[in-house]
Amino acid sequence: MPIPTRAYAHVRLTVTDIARSRAFYDEVFGLPVAFELPADADEATRERLGFLYGGVIYALGDSLLGLRPVSDDGFSEDRTGLDHLAFAVGSRADLVAAVDTLDAAGVAHEGVKDIGAGHILEFRDPDGIALELYAPAAAAS
């Protein structure tokens, strides 16, 4: 019998430089932080939040997006693992507005593309992790 899943609970990305990645994700997405280790945390708090591994976890709707500083070899969608991470937006107009946000942040992107089923906007984070914004065709106005 298949496992009755409903949605993703969380995704955690490994990054090479947590400060650089946090700056990028904060500027581009502006997500609220759900979990992070306070700089002045006592030993009990450090132990309780050990699952962060020195990273951060953001709230993303009903899901979580985490960054964990462990990798030093960069990203490649041609290796087993993650190909890309896509975020849903409400409409094509949201994608057009996102172009302005990416441009202001100096983030290279592919521009808004019509893929038939909807529209996408592709770009990469500081480690080269492929990111995408997606608006379904029904919401493409």
Co-location of 64 and 94 in the same domain = no
pLDDT at 140: 47
The pLDDT value recorded for residue 139 is 53
Provide the CATH number for the domain around residue 103.
Answer: 3.10.180.10
What are the DSSP calls for 42-101, one per residue?
A: -HHHHHHTGGGTT-EEEEETTEEEEEEE---S---TTSSS-S-EEEE-S-HHHHHHHHHH
Secondary structure of residue 25 in the 3-state scheme: helix
Residue 78 within a domain: no
Domain termination residue (choose one: 73, 103, 126): 73
Last residue of a domain, one of 46, 73, 100: 73
The answer to whether residues 108 and 55 belong to one domain is no
Range of the domain at 107: 83-141
Q: Reduced to 3 states, what is the DSSP secondary structure of residue 103?
A: helix
Identify whether residues 35 and 67 lie together within a single domain.
Answer: yes
Q: Is residue 37 domain-shared with residue 61, that is, in the same domain? A: yes
What is the pLDDT at residue 73? 74
5 & 27 share domain: yes
| Domain-located, residue 27 | yes
Q: Are residues 52 and 94 in the same domain?
A: no
pLDDT in 10s for each residue of the chain, 141 residues: 898 888 889 999 999 999 999 999 999 999 999 999 998 999 999 999 999 988 999 999 999 999 998 867 777 777 778 889 999 999 999 999 999 999 999 999 999 999 999 999 999 999 999 999 999 987 545
In single-letter form, the type of residue at position 58 comes to Y
Q: Report the number of distinct structural domains present in the chain.
A: 2
Q: Are residues 27 and 61 in the same domain?
A: yes
pLDDT at 93: 95
